[in-house]
Amino acid sequence: MNTLVLLTGILFILMVLIGGRKGIRSFIALFLNFVVLLFTIFIMLDPTADPIILTIIASTAISFITLFYISEVNSTTKTAFISTVITIVILIFFIMYVTEKAMIQGFGEEEIGELYIFDLYIGVDFVKIGTAMIIMSAIGAITDITISIASPMREIFHHHPSMSRRDLFQSGLSIGRDILGTNSNTLFFAFFGGYLALLIWFKDLSYSLGEIVNSKVFTAEILTILCAGIGIALAIPITSWITSYFLVKRREKN
């Protein structure tokens, strides 16, 4: 507990020293997002609750806090927020299909050993739970890439106000291409960092490469990375189009 308090204090001090007022807001936003996630999980325990609807609401709330609370309400955060919500809605139905077809819902045999004493018939749709898990894993990366595209696009338009919508859209795509690779690598190495112990366990159990690839635990995490990567890729053209549309439309009105 003392270690957690110490690390939290160090994080807060660094965020204040480097980020100033926005650093404080970012620190508070971390806890607000944690409360949203915790509240969502508790509601999901109710068999009558729909995890997909809860995930959409929670993702919207997290995006709202991350964008509007930290960076305040402006044209950049508005377009980033709209782009994030549209990307999540498109992605969530795709993930539901993939989760059901790949049968990655539920627990793998590596996990079931610790759960055999519990009743797994709890009245919850594990396909929807699996979908919610993947969306929650991707929401941070999607929000990050939408604001990372919308902000420089606004700056480009500010310095070149006569740009056409098509040229501005192409600029957004160009920015997105530079970000795409780094974000995908972040997701990939986050998986291997978080599941390094699992991979070592596979080695100790003498799993072959085929057994590792076909294990539910490993497959579920790889599909999480792939679906999050697809979400990031989708967010690039969506954000570029929405941002270019609103910036040019505002110029025409003025």
111-120 pLDDT, tens per residue? 565 555 565 6
Q: Which domain holds residue 117?
A: 48-253
Q: How far apart are CA 71 and CA 117, in angstroms?
A: 47
Query: Does the residue 26 lie in any domain?
Result: no
% of the chain with per-residue pLDDT over 90: 2
Average pLDDT over residues 42-50: 79
pLDDT band at residue 59, thresholds of 50, 70 and 90? confident
105 pLDDT more than 70: no
Nearest residue to 33 (alpha-carbon basis) of 66, 75, 72, 74: 66
pLDDT for the residue 118: 60
pLDDT for the residue 241: 92
Nearest residue to 8 (alpha-carbon basis) of 31, 36, 37, 25: 31
User: Is residue 162 helix, strand or coil?
Assistant: coil
Query: Does the residue 3 lie in any domain?
Result: no
Query: Does the residue 123 lie in any domain?
Result: yes
Classify residue 244 by burial, with Cβ atoms within 10 Å: 0-12, 13-18, 19+: buried
Average pLDDT over residues 84-103: 81
Query: Does the residue 24 lie in any domain?
Result: no
pLDDT band at residue 180, thresholds of 50, 70 and 90? confident
Query: Does the residue 86 lie in any domain?
Result: yes
66 pLDDT more than 70: yes
Q: Give the amino acid at 68.
A: F
Q: What's the total number of domains in the chain? A: 1
Q: How far apart are CA 66 and CA 147, in angstroms?
A: 10
Query: Does the residue 151 lie in any domain?
Result: yes
pLDDT band at residue 75, thresholds of 50, 70 and 90? confident
Summarised one tens digit per residue, pLDDT across range 136-176 is: 878 888 888 888 898 888 888 888 888 888 888 888 888 88
Q: What is the mean pLDDT of the chain?
A: 80
Query: Does the residue 119 lie in any domain?
Result: yes
Query: Does the residue 33 lie in any domain?
Result: no
217 pLDDT more than 60: yes
